Structure 1
Amino acid sequence: MTNNQPLAGIRVLDVSQVMAGPFCCMLLGDMGADVIKVEPPQVGDSSRRSMGFRLKGEDSPGFLALNRNKRSIVLDLKAPADRDTFYALVKTADVVVENGRPGVADRLGIGYDTLRALNPRLIYASISGFGPGGPWATRPGYDLIAQAMSGLMSAVGIPDQEPVKNTTPVGDLGSALFAAYGILSAILARQTTGEGQLVTASLFEAALGLSIWETAEFWGTGKSPQPLGSANRMSAPYQAVEASDGWFVFAAANQKLWLALLAVIGRQDLADLPRFLDNSARVTNARELIELLRPSFRTRTAAEWVDALLAAGVPSGPILNYEQSLASEHTHARAMVQDIAHPVEGSFKALGFPVKLSATPQVVRFPPPLLDEHGTEIRHELADKGLIAEPQAA
């Protein structure tokens, strides 16, 4: 298969498990990188056995969702012979990605300083819960903990209710995106310097780094942001409301949209009230404002309101569940659902590529690998380069 994608020729060693590291490496693989997933013996990536349901094979749907466009080799990094094979791989690699707790990689003999000595051009990405330094560095890294300790959990959910987290794991997935961004930047820097570097990302810093509105509010007011439900910190009204048959969302995010909204719902009487005169006043009085608007929205169905608001230029939409969203014509028009052929599953559905490249589009070159599916193949490649002895036939 010809690979003319942007990262063709870049080799990535994925020495990570579960979500943050594997998602980062999958993104690189989707752009054409040769991603080799290095897995421990017997169980492999622990996410292979996660989740409480299966399709046909032993690997979980979660593992399948995070590991396309990779090859798998099993190496016991505590065993000298397998560690030497890993060192041989490092000499051929451009990038290593690991997401263990700080200190674990060094104890295994695969820390940054050790691998950089083998390959000075190596870009080493380390994703952890809280980063390699600071008083929280050695704490376990879980998305729930990062959301809690970054401040994010204090500002999501319904006012005066028990704390909730963002169900989408923004710490895990955000750190993966930031790590990929750092890796690509380091690849560009290497073109000038000729040397690799250490890239660090963490779940905590990702959750905090994405808290743009919340930190702006805190520094601007001196008060920690509180939960707003579906409302917005910078614009009002901008949230979910209940129609006669269910809920929908709309966003009157500026003065023009505010006046258009009032015209649609027949509440022009609110336009000249000082406490709702501009966006700043409406944000300050958002709770009172939405209570005044709620009776109007209960007079028609959600679909009727969405159609009427869109016709007036006010952003609006239904609240879809995942079944509805994945089945929508728009989702399929944007190729966000794909069927991936698999040697055990036959095929399975997966999300498509959320960013599109016009000249070098992403493709699924490899389905998520079976454990050690490519181990012999990769060892032969290393032997051909004279880096290890030719593997013996089984």
Structure 2
Amino acid sequence: MHSPLEALRDTGQHELRPWKSAAVSALSSARSRLLRMLEGLPEDALVRQHSPLMSPIVWDVAHMANYEEQWLLRALGAPSLTDSAFDSLYDAFRHSRASRSQLPLLTPAQAFAYASRVREATLEWLHHLHEDSPVPLLRGGFVFGMVVQHEQQHLETLAATLQLMTSHVYRPAALPRPRPARAAQYEVFIPGGPARLGSDAPWAYDNERPAHTVHVPDFLLDSHPVTNGDYVVFVESGGYDDPRWWDPQGFEWIHAQGIRHPLFWLPQEGGAWLRRRYGHVEPLPRDEPVQHVCWYEADAYARWAGKRLPTEAEWEKAATGSDAQPRVYPWGHTAPDSSHANLGGDSWGPSPIGSYPAGQSADGVWGLLGDVWEWTSSTFDGYFGFKSFPYREYSEVFFGGEYRVLRGGAWASAPVAVRNSFRNWDYPMRRQIFAGFRCARDAR
């Protein structure tokens, strides 16, 4: 008898045309990653609510399958595999994360079997679709890119859930990370001028569209993200006690919550620092980018350092450069691999700064993609000419001043969901996400 996880393994591939081949490969990569992540976890760990901020893992498994059924089967004319009750049960807007453990969810075995049935049907139905279809959902394989990225984003969310888990010891088999020589932090001058923002690429999300040009003045940007070692100085100099550095709402919030340092840090006598990472405690690596800091913490550090957070236009300008043909990635147009950035989730943590010289931008900025998401000063809104597609709930309902934009992806982000134009967003107090930051300042 197959285990629930074995039931998720993909079926074989047939001869396919370009975007269909890309879709099958990306779907397979996401499924393989899910299997690696959940291998060996007991049923109790899959059904337990590990934090009110996160869903039970089994909810995410069935939600991903339901999303795939809705968009890669029903929306493309295939027969439904389930009744409409599943749509309500696994609707992320209908049920808050904190309430999902109280729902009549599928068991792990049922959820994995459902995901397997959906995937088999998706791969079969793919052969009935015309690659050059004028249907907007299929243009360039958009809907397949949307579903693949959605699944990979949930796997990043699962990585955050597993870090929050304390009921079970989770020690993933992490790939070794580079150990470069000590890297110096310095400021890089980014010349002002026209900046091409956004993307019209086939798999770009609606909030990245339309591609457009804005003017960005000259500015200075840190060569690397702020490190743990940098941030320790802010903590130990009393940065959390000085309201001069903090957004007033942020200062009120950290004191109401009793926050004195980044999430998962553990202060020790004598000035030493430890951190908890996936089931074990270890010395805090001073040369890695700081992560698990909220926007308020990032903004306060930048003020303390006499700088500020970059706008998202500045961040994307630094990533794309000033060429007539903007770069898709900071280093050019070649898709990311392990020489460019720490992506894909198998490292289970950031790498020390200076680890990926092949990933530098043309101006000499390091680490813009991978390792940690980078907070910007910008609130989340649509670009001029924005059109919601294919549903408002992906982006439009989040527009406004409540959310801050993050750029660049993290070690837990999949390469398929990372590019210069990709926009992430979250509340300014969120700390369980794999977020850090780098500083900027005006060029005078």
* TM-score bucket of the superposed structures, by smaller chain: under 0.3
**TM-score when normalising by structure 2:** 0.22
Which structure has the greater CA radius of gyration? 1
